[in-house]
């Protein structure tokens, strides 16, 4: 199905999506981010790899019981294990944040100007909120520009929205409607990354339910480890498995 048809069909089905979404919201388990430090280091020497994971509740690690099991530190451990080099990490996320909120309210509060890689975990809330193409383009496109302006030497990598029919909590009809919105968001995101010097990873493939937290929506420790492996592969492939430059 082309993107125009997917968009028109999703808007026609919006009343059904709203009804099912309201019911799901009433019964869904609410999970806070894990307690613990939001930054750290793997290895003893000055880190050559400096990873920022920024975005929505998944960037904050919702679904994991320990900060150590979230995306940032797990990516850092994988890169350290493969390269033998020290890696620093920082998580910066906000529950329910859409792209423009990450741009306006999360990014300005991130300390540090020397990240080598910025991982963006956004788009899911834009998708489920039925944000228009124009709004997502402004929000996500502006976020990419803001990342390049604040961290001009960093590689910016976006993790697209996963396939909603694979998410355990999703009722089948709602999942199929949201899959249409996912198609649109991911198409726009890929185009913006291509235009604005960022890397769009492939969407994370889902292999069963064992990687989901008790809320049936966010990742658990196993899911974040799987996701971290996926993103670490993108980082190392882009670097040719060589080290980025040391901070000046």
Domain boundaries, the chain: 3-28+43-238
pLDDT digits (tens, 9 = 90+) for 113-138: 899 999 999 999 999 999 999 999 99
Confidence of residue 15 (pLDDT cuts 50, 70, 90): confident
Task: Return the pLDDT at 19.
Answer: 77
- 162 and 240 in contact (C-beta within 8 Å)? no
What is the rounded CA–CA span in Å between residue 139 and residue 109? Answer: 17
- 29 or 228, which is more confident: 228
- 21 or 218, which is more confident: 218
pLDDT above 50 (res 180)? yes
pLDDT digits (tens, 9 = 90+) for 210-225: 999 999 999 999 999 9
Q: What are the residues facing 212 on neighbouring strands?
A: 219
Cα-based angle 56, 2, 126 (whole degrees, multiple of 5): 15
Structure token digits, residue 245: 């430059």
What is the rounded CA–CA span in Å between residue 184 and residue 116? Answer: 29
Residues 147-166, mean pLDDT to the nearest whole number = 97
Confidence of residue 248 (pLDDT cuts 50, 70, 90): very low
What is the rounded CA–CA span in Å between residue 160 and residue 194? Answer: 13
What is the rounded CA–CA span in Å between residue 151 and residue 116? Answer: 8
CATH of 3-28+43-238, one of 3.20.190.10, 3.40.50.1110, 3.20.20.70, 3.40.50.2300: 3.40.50.1110
Confidence of residue 246 (pLDDT cuts 50, 70, 90): low
pLDDT above 50 (res 150)? yes
pLDDT above 80 (res 110)? yes
pLDDT above 70 (res 241)? no
Confidence of residue 29 (pLDDT cuts 50, 70, 90): confident
Q: What is the mean pLDDT of the chain?
A: 92
Residue that the structure tokens 């498995």 belong to: 241
Confidence of residue 244 (pLDDT cuts 50, 70, 90): low
What are the angstrom distances between the C-alpha of 17 and each of 8, 25, 97, 184? 14, 12, 20, 16
């Amino acid at each position: 199905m082309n993107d125009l048809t997917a968009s028109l069909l999703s808007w026609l089905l919006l009343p059904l999506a709203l009804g099912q979404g309201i019911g799901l919201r009433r019964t869904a388990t609410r999970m806070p981010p894990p307690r613990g430090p939001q930054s750290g280091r793997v290895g003893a020497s000055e880190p050559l790899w400096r990873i920022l994971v920024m975005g929505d509740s998944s960037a904050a690690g919702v679904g994991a019981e320990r900060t150590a099991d979230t995306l940032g530190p797990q990516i850092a451990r994988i890169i350290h294990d493969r390269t033998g080099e020290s890696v620093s990490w920082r998580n910066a996320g906000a529950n329910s944040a859409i792209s423009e909120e990450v741009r306006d309210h999360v990014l300005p509060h991130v300390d540090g100007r020397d990240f080598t890689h910025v991982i963006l975990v956004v788009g899911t809330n834009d998708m489920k909120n039925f944000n228009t193409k124009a709004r997502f383009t402004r929000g996500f496109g502006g976020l990419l520009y803001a990342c390049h302006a604040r961290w001009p030497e960093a590689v910016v990598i976006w993790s697209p929205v996963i396939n909603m029919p694979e998410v355990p909590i999703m009722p089948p009809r709602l999942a199929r409607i949201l899959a249409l919105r996912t198609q649109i968001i991911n198409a726009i995101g890929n185009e913006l990354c291509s235009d604005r010097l960022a890397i769009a990873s492939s969407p994370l493939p889902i292999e069963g339910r064992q990687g989901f937290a008790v809320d049936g929506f966010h990742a658990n420790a196993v899911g974040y480890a799987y996701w971290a492996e996926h993103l670490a592969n993108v980082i190392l492939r882009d670097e040719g498995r060589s080290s980025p430059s040391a901070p000046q």
